[in-house]
Amino acid sequence: MKAAKKAATAQSSKRTGLSKAARDLLSRVRASPSPERVFGLEPAAADAMARGVIDPLIDGAALPFSKLNQYRWYVSELCRLMRTKSGPDLAYCIELLFAKWIGFGLEANTAVFLAGELFDRLAQKPEPEGES
- Summarised one tens digit per residue, pLDDT across range 13-42 is 455 578 899 999 999 989 887 777 788 888
Please report whether residue 57 resides in a domain.
yes
**Which pLDDT score, from 0 to 100, does residue 132 have?**
47
Containing structural domain, residue 35: 20-123
Please report whether residue 24 resides in a domain.
yes
Q: Concatenated DSSP letters for 59-74?
A: HTTT--HHHHHHHHHH
Length of the chain: 132
The string of pLDDT tens digits covering residues 62-121 is 778 888 889 999 999 999 998 888 889 999 999 999 999 999 988 899 899 999 999 988
Please report whether residue 9 resides in a domain.
no
Question: Domains in the chain: how many in total?
Answer: 1
